[in-house]
Chain A
Amino acid sequence: MKAWLGIVLTVSIVLAAAGAPWIATHDPIQADFASGLRPPGTPGHPLGTDQLGRDLLARVLHGARLALFIGVCTVVVTAVAGGLLGLVAGFVERWPSTVLMRIADVQLSFPFILLALTINAIVGLGLRNIILSLSAAGWVVYARVVRGEVLAVKQRDYVHAAAALGVGRARLLFRHVLPNVAPSIVVVASLQFSQFIVAEAAISFLGFGVQPPTPAWGSMLSESRDFLYVAWWLAAFPGLALALTALGVNLLGDWLRDTFDPKLRV
C-alpha cells in the first residue's frame, strides 16, 4: 500500500513536471499585474495567481521541474563522488581509508542543512552553486555506506577466487565488488533525494539558492508570507507540492530498501 502510494505520487510528480508547459499554458514568469491575487478556480488560473498576476499552477509545476532537476543532479553527483570514494576507501584500506573516514566524521558532526548553507554562502547564489553546495554537504553518507559494504563484500569467496585467478585490482573492484554494492547506492540515493529537495527549498526560502523570478518552491513560500492574510493559496500550493514530493519519494525509497536490502540503515 505504502509502496503504491509512493510510486503513484512520484510518477505523477515526474509526469506533471515533464508536462508543465502543456498542463499550464501560462509562462511562469510572465506577470500580469492587473489580475494579481486571484483565488483558485479563476477561469484560466485553476490555482489562482500570485501578487504579480503570475499563474500559480505554472509556477508550481515549473517549480517541480526545478526541484526534480536539482534533486537528480545532486543525487547523481553525490552518488558518483561519494560512491567512488567509498569504494576506494573500503578496498584500499590503510591510510586513504583512515583519512577519508576522519574527514567524513568531521563533516557528519555538522548538521546537513547548516553545512549546505555555509558552503552556499561561500560559493554564491545560483542554480549551479546550489547543486554544488548540496553535493559537497551530502556525499558523506554514500562514502560511509559504500565503504562498509565493500569491507564485507571483498571478504566473500568469489572475490578471493577472482583475485586468486589473477584478476587485476581495478577489474576486481569494478566488475566483482561494485555490482554487489550498487543496490545500496540506489537505496541511499532514493532516501537522500527528498532530503536534497527539502534542503533546496529551505535554502531558497532563506533567500540563498535559486533567485527569483525563477519559480522555486522555497522562494515562493518565502514570498507568500507577505500575503498570508489575503491569499492563502500562495503558501498552500507550493507547500503542498513540496510535502507530497518529499512524501512520495521517501515512500518509494522505503520500498526500494525493503526490496533490495532490508538490513540497510541510513
Chain B
Amino acid sequence: MRALRLLVVVLVMSTVGVSATSAQDRTRTKEIVVGFGAEPRTMLGVTIVDWTTNNMLEHIYDRLLDRDPKTLKPKPMLATGWKLVNDTTWEFTLRKGVKFHNGEPFDAQSIKATFEYMLDPANKSHYATPAYWKPLKEVQVVDPYTVRLVTDKPYPSVIDHASLTDLLVLPAKALKELGPQKLADKPIGTGPFKFVEWRRDDRLVVERNPDYWAGPADVSRVTFRFIPEFSARMAALLSGEIDIMKDVPPHAVDTVERSGRAKIRSTVSSRINYLALVNLKPGPMQDVRVRRAMNHAVNVDELITQVLRGNATKMCGPLAPANVDFAQVECYKHDPVRAQALFKEAGVDPKTLALTLDTPSGRYPLDKDVSLAIAAQLQRLGIKTNVVVNEWGTHLDKIKNRNTGDMFFLGWGPALHGQGTIEPLFKADATYSSYGNNKLLDEKIAKAVTVVDAKARAAAYTELQKLVRDEAPWVFLWQQHDLYGVASHVEWSPRPDEKVWMYEAKIVPR
C-alpha cells in the first residue's frame, strides 16, 4: 500500500510543480518558462549530438551561421560572409565587436579553439566523427577576422553544418584557462542569454545578455523546465506554470484552444521519425527480406490518420521534402500478403517471431503511443512485439552502445541536408546508427558526400535514396508536424528547423 501512496505523491508533485511564479508576475518582469520533455546532456557546446541539449545551449552560444526561419537557407550570424576558395577550402569573414559573456573578444582564435576542443579524441565529442567534422584537416587563421576551414576531401556540407548547432562557438581563453570540465558546469558563450543555473532533473535558467551583438532580447529571463509527461506538461501550460510547451498531443489540441490561456502554434518540421530495424547486432533484421516485410506490414497511413490525427507527412525514403537533397522514391505499400510472402521467403514464421521495440516516451509527438500502435499492427500478422519504454537518456545510451532490441523508434533533425542524415545513420561506426556494414552503400556514401557540383550532387543523392529505400534499414515513417502550446501573452512562432529560440519571443501584456 505504501508503494501506491508514494506513486500518487510523485504524480501529484510532477503535475503541480513546486515554487512556480505566477504568469502575471512573469509578464511584468518579462520572464518566460519553456516546458521540454527532457533535460540537456551537457552544458558544453559541440559535444553531444542531441537536439534537446543543443536547443537549450544555443541560447548561451551562437552558431557560426544561422538559418533563415522561412527558407532555411544559411544566413550570417557570427560569420558575416563565406566563400569557397577551392574544393577543399572555405573562407569565413567573422563579425567584429562580439564579446563572450566573460568579456573575452570573439575572433578567429575562438573558432580554432572550438575545433581543437571538439576534435581532441580525449573529449569524446560526437562531432569528431566522419559524419560531422572529422573531414576537417586544418583551421587557418588568416587574420583575426578571417578564418579558413580546410578539409581533407571536398566537403560541401561544411556550410550545412556551420549553420546548425554543429558549430556552437566556445571561448578560446576560457577554454584554455578553465578547461572543458569547468565550462561544462558554467558555460560561456556569445549568445543572447547568460547561464544562471542548471538544477538536474528540474530546470535550466538563463538571463538576458544586455550586450548581445544583435541587440538585447525582449525576454529578460528564460527557464527551461524538464517535464517528461505530455499530460503533466499540459497541466503546467493550462495552469500558467509554463508559457511554451513542445509537442501538444493531437488529441488535446481542442483542450488547449478552448482554455483561453494558450493557443496552438504548429509547423511542418524538418524532423523525421523512423523505426530502425537494427542490423548491427545478430537477429532477424539481418535479412533484407525481413526488413522489407516489416515495411509492408506496418501501415504508416493508418498510424498518421488514426494515432497522430493527420499531424505528420508520410516519408517513403530516408529523406523528407524539407531536405535540400530530397528525391522522391517509391513507397512501400501496406500489403500484409506481400509481407507474409517475404517472411516465408526468408524462412521466418511471423507466428513464432518475438521482437523487442525500444521507444522513448515524451521526446517525439506521441512516440510511445506510435510504438504501441506499431506493435499492435505487427500483432495482426502474429508477430509478438514487446515494447520497452525508456527514459530519454537511457534510450540514447542504448542506441549508442548498440543495446536496443531488434527495433527502436527515433527522430532525426533538423534534417536539412542529405549528408547530415545518411552518413550518421547508415554507417556502422556512426554514433546513433542502427544499420551499416553494407559495402555498396558505404562506397556510395563516401562518394556522394564529396560532390561539390550541384547537378552531380543531386544525382548522387537520388541514387543513394533509392538504394537505402531498397535496403530498408528502417520502417520509413514520417516528417513530424510540431504542435506547440503558447501562452496568450507570448508572441512566438515555431520554425521548421525546430530552433526554439527565445530571442525571437516577445512578451505582450494583455
Contact = CB atoms under 8 A, between A and B. Distances in A.
Contacts of B1: 194-195, 198, 246, 250
Contacts of A195: 1
Interface string A199-227: 10110010100011110000000110111
Contacts of A222: 389
A165 B307 CA distance: 76
B389 A207 contact: yes
B388 A31 contact: no
- Counting chain A CB atoms within 10 Å of each CB, the highest count among B229, B306, B368, B387 belongs to B306
Interface stretch (A32-40, A76-84, A172-180, A258-266): A32-40
B373 A226 contact: no
A229 B255 contact: yes
A52 interface: yes
A133 to B, nearest CB: 14
Contacts of A243: 4
A30 interface: yes
Interface in B265-311: 302-303, 306-307
Contacts of B306: 33-34, 36
Contacts of A192: none
A211 to B, nearest CB: 4
Given A226-B368, A230-B255, A29 B379 contact: yes
B3 A212 contact: no
Contacts of A31: 373, 376-377, 379
Contacts of B361: 207
A222 B387 CA distance: 13
A125 interface: yes
Contacts of A104: none
Interface string B374-389: 0111010000011111
B214 interface: no
B80 interface: no
A244 interface: no
B252 interface: yes
A260 B375 CA distance: 49
Interface string A143-185: 0000000000000000000000000000000000000000000
A213 B361 CA distance: 15
A5 interface: no
A109 B251 CA distance: 46
A108 interface: no
Contacts of B2: 113
Interface residues of B, number: 38
B231 interface: yes
Interface centre among B3, B230, B389, by most A CB within 10 Å? Answer: B3
A227 B231 contact: yes
A87 B317 CA distance: 66
Nearest to A226: B230
B390 interface: yes
A51 interface: yes
Given A211-B386, A213-B375, A213-B376, A229 B4 contact: no
A202 B7 CA distance: 7
Nearest to A51: B369
Interface in A46-67: 51-52, 54
A15 interface: no
B388 A226 contact: no
B372 A211 contact: no
A194 B3 CA distance: 11
Contacts of B249: 226-227
B262 interface: no
Contacts of A201: 4
A11 interface: no
B7 A205 contact: yes
B312 interface: no
Quick one: which of B2, B366, B375, B376 has the most chain A CB within 10 A? B376
Nearest to B359: A212
Contacts of A194: 1
Interface string B304-326: 00110000000000000000000
B369 A211 contact: no
Given A30-B379, A198-B4, A213 B251 contact: no
Interface of B: 1-4, 6-7, 11, 229-232, 234-235, 249, 251-252, 255, 302-303, 306-307, 361, 366, 368-369, 372-373, 375-377, 379, 385-391
Interface of A: 29-31, 33-34, 36-37, 51-52, 54, 113, 125, 194-195, 198-199, 201-202, 205, 207, 211-214, 222-223, 225-230, 242-243, 246, 250
Given A29-B379, A51-B372, A230-B252, 18 more contacts: A29-B376, A30-B376, A37-B251, A51-B251, A52-B372, A52-B373, A52-B376, A125-B388, A202-B7, A207-B388, A207-B390, A211-B386, A212-B375, A213-B376, A225-B232, A226-B229, A229-B234, A230-B251
- Considering the complex of A and B, which 9 residue pairs feature the smallest CB-CB distances, nearest first? A31-B376, A33-B306, A202-B3, A211-B386, A228-B231, A212-B387, A207-B389, A226-B230, A113-B3
16 contacts: A29-B376, A33-B307, A52-B307, A52-B376, A199-B3, A202-B7, A212-B372, A213-B372, A213-B385, A214-B386, A225-B11, A226-B249, A229-B234, A229-B255, A242-B4, A246-B4
